Amino acid sequence: MCRSKLLISLVFATFIASCSTSPTGRGQLIFKSDAELEAQAASTFNAYRSTLPLTTDRAKIDFVACVAQAVVAELHPPYSDIEWELAIFADKQVNAFAMPGGKIGVYEGILEITEDEHQLAAVIGHEIAHVTARHVNERASRAAITSIGIEALAVIMGGGYTGGAYTASQVMGAGAALGMQLPMSRSQETEADIVGLEYMAKAGFDPRAAVDLWQNMAAMDKKQPPEHLSTHPAPKTRIENLISQWQKTLPIYNQAIADGKESNCKKTWE
């Protein structure tokens, strides 16, 4: 049971904990303030944009922006009140991310794996869900409790697409409390999948495409670690969880289409 105020001494610092509930009803213990994380995210995002090359391909920019804008349009306050920023990096890494304060980063490599706008919406919806469900805040707070350094936290929060799921041995050297971190990471990934499906369905993207996406990912990366030693669910588990949500998300998608929200975002390059 989470108390409204919990004092924990860590390296002579005292943190005030607050209780909250995730979008799927999971209890969360939060130490880090949203303002603090948003400031850190803004600094990191600007550093990425200044050091990594940005794509100049107009077709790719328009395509990603079209999908991202459609998903963001379905958010509720306070996230609908944010002016979301998008950066598309000219990098073959198969990854994407979203940060507190409304920052979205997409690597060109993910565009080679996502076959259409629906699969890209599954990626972007998932990453935005990490922000709206306050997963970054939760992980940063848990990292403070377990004395995990910033390097280990970066590892734990890897993208989870091809090559992005990290094993326990990779994190252990940085002092992570794996019994706490790995199960939490997997539960957050599942939660982001669930919430992300709703976002994409509301925006007029077919939630069934998320299964196609993860089948593509599984086919590309056959060296996934065992699930109990990974920060992310195994592709098979992930696909089963996504399919289990169709009964809920397909009616949402059908209503969005009936309301005229069918996507007009199309890939125009080979």
Which residue from 169, 177, 188 is spatially nearest to 149, judged by alpha carbons?
A: 177
Return all residues near 185 (Cβ < 8 A) that are at least 6 apart.
Answer: 139, 156, 157, 231, 232
Return all residues near 248 (Cβ < 8 A) that are at least 6 apart.
Answer: 198
Rounded to a whole number of angstroms, the distance between the first and last alpha carbons of the chain is 53
Which tokens in the block code for residue 25?
Answer: 């009803």
Helices (H) and strands (E) in the chain, counts: 11, 7
DSSP secondary structure code for residue 105 in this structure = E
**Is 127 assigned a catalytic role?**
yes
CB 207 within 8 A of CB 241: no
Which residue from 202, 190, 176 is spatially nearest to 75, judged by alpha carbons?
A: 202
- Out of 108, 127, 138, 198, pick the active-site residue: 127
Q: Which residues are catalytic?
A: 127
